[in-house]
């Protein structure tokens, strides 16, 4: 059960994956793509690779307005999840898949107790499930109401009930192959110009062909613009023993990663991200990378150059985001990072990204980097001049 809950949490871990802190406004499309590799040496002892797509535009992931309005009108709902991950909640076998309508416990409970929670969750779930089945092209049936808590959602006893925060109405059906799920979602819900634009989407499609992968679509509640998330993930067991050399594209199954052609005529540096998260068994730090280290993201110039930005430099939880800048492709070798043991003489609780060694290679390579920086600066200037002319 822990494994299923851990994977379910990872489904949501990439929600709103790109918005970072910037001092100046940057142009941004509504479609975002993220390739993520989580090296979990400490907890699950696995490596989890995923490709996720996020949008607030239901022309890009076609959820009917009427269904979104019904979801938005129910403030008790946190999110709706369609996934072919088995054991989505306790009691669901591994050969079944789920639609889960997840609720905020306190909103659902009101002044009542467990019976109120069960009745309200079932009532709201039943009001939505017919349209959700139609949307996803499935025929799920009611399975159970599950209360998530410190004791795996047990519904007996008051301590588990009061400590729980979320309630799931689970509807199930026999599990489908991930390739079938992904193809159905791609053909029926994803805008054709995105599904045919290559890049990250092709990587997701290939990952979905692995029978052990998982596909999920999530609708996250928001009063104004619900967040829509499509994700394919694959868990590799026994691959986290040696993480001294980090090569994320190994687990994504490609030697080169290309941005979607959906972005080829616009400068949107925040819309394509490669994320690497590392939970080392013992305190560790990044010693070197093959591309730039971005120490701040305060202006458009900062994100015009390809490189790694570290959102966490904790020796126990490292989170690095690779931004493409003005480039459209990146090779496996360029994305490698070397990990080493934590410097025990460091009195800080984190390592400094500015101290990470950048392996620049030969002079010819350095010249190419210099040219790239100049081109990026010109592109950034043109970008701002374009905006200035429009305003004046």
Block means of pLDDT (10 residues each) for the chain, 392 residues, are: 47 47 62 96 94 96 96 95 93 96 93 93 98 98 88 36 73 98 97 97 98 96 90 93 95 97 90 96 96 89 92 96 95 97 87 92 40 41 41 44
Residue with tokens 């993930």: 233
- Structural domain spans, the chain: 2-358, 363-392
The Cα 226–Cα 46 span in angstroms is: 32
Tokens of 327: 């480039």
Q: How many CB atoms lie within 10 A of CB 275?
A: 21
Largest CA distance in the chain: 71
The Cα 359–Cα 354 span in angstroms is: 14
DSSP 52-72: EEEES-TTTB---HHHHHHHH
What DSSP element (H or E) covers 121?
A: helix 114-136
The Cα 154–Cα 369 span in angstroms is: 57
Mapped onto helix, strand or coil, the DSSP state of residue 283 is coil
* CB neighbour list of residue 392: distance below 8 Å, 6 or more residues apart: none
pLDDT for position 249:
98
Mapped onto helix, strand or coil, the DSSP state of residue 183 is helix
Q: What are phi and psi of 47, to 5 degrees?
A: -115, 130
pLDDT for position 372:
42
- 213 contacts 253 by C-beta, under 8 angstroms: no
Of 324, 335, 334, 312, nearest to 13 by C-alpha is: 312
Of 142, 153, 52, nearest to 101 by C-alpha is: 142
Of 361, 200, 244, nearest to 291 by C-alpha is: 361
pLDDT for position 152:
41
Mapped onto helix, strand or coil, the DSSP state of residue 199 is coil
Mapped onto helix, strand or coil, the DSSP state of residue 23 is coil
Q: What are phi and psi of 80, to 5 degrees?
A: -125, 130
Of 356, 320, 357, nearest to 37 by C-alpha is: 320
pLDDT for position 344:
80
pLDDT for position 98:
97
The Cα 108–Cα 19 span in angstroms is: 30
Q: How many CB atoms lie within 10 A of CB 115?
A: 9
pLDDT for position 301:
86
* CB neighbour list of residue 294: distance below 8 Å, 6 or more residues apart: 302, 303, 305, 307, 308, 309, 323
């Amino acid at each position: 059960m822990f494994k299923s809950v851990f994977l379910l949490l990872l489904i949501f871990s990439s929600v709103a994956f790109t918005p970072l802190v910037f001092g100046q406004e940057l142009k941004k499309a509504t479609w975002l793509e993220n390739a993520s590799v989580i090296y979990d040496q400490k907890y699950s002892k696995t490596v989890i690779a995923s490709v996720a797509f996020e949008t607030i535009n239901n022309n890009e992931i076609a959820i009917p307005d009427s269904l979104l309005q019904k979801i938005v009108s129910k403030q008790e709902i946190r999110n709706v999840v369609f996934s072919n991950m088995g054991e989505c909640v306790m009691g669901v076998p591994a050969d079944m898949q789920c639609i889960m309508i997840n609720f905020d416990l306190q909103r659902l409970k009101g002044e009542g107790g467990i019976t109120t929670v069960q009745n309200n969750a079932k009532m709201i779930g039943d009001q939505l499930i017919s349209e959700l089945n139609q949307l996803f092209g499935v025929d799920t049936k009611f399975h159970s109401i599950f209360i998530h808590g410190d004791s795996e959602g047990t519904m007996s006893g008051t301590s588990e009930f009061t400590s729980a925060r979320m309630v799931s109405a689970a509807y199930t059906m026999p599990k489908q192959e991930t390739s079938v799920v992904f193809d159905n979602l791609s053909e029926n819900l994803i805008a054709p110009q995105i599904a045919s634009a290559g890049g990250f989407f092709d990587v997701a499609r290939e990952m979905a062909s692995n029978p052990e992968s998982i596909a999920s679509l999530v609708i996250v509640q928001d009063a104004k613009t619900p967040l829509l998330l499509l994700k394919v993930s694959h868990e590799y067991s026994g691959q986290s023993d040696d993480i001294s050399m980090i090569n994320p594209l190994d687990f994504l199954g490609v030697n080169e990663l290309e941005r979607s052609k959906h972005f080829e005529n616009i400068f949107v540096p925040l819309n394509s991200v490669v994320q690497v998260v590392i939970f080392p068994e013992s305190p560790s730090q990044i010693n070197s990378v093959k591309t730039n280290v971005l120490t701040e993201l305060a202006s458009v110039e900062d994100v015009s150059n390809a490189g790694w930005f570290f959102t966490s430099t904790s020796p126990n939880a490292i989170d690095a985001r690779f931004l493409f800048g003005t480039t459209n492709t990146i090779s496996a070798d360029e994305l490698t990072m070397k990990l080493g043991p934590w410097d025990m003489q460091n009195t800080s609780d984190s390592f400094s990204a500015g101290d990470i060694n950048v392996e620049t290679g030969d002079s010819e390579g350095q010249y190419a980097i210099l040219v790239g920086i100049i081109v990026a600066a010109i592109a950034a200037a043109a970008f701002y001049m374009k905006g200035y002319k429009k305003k004046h």
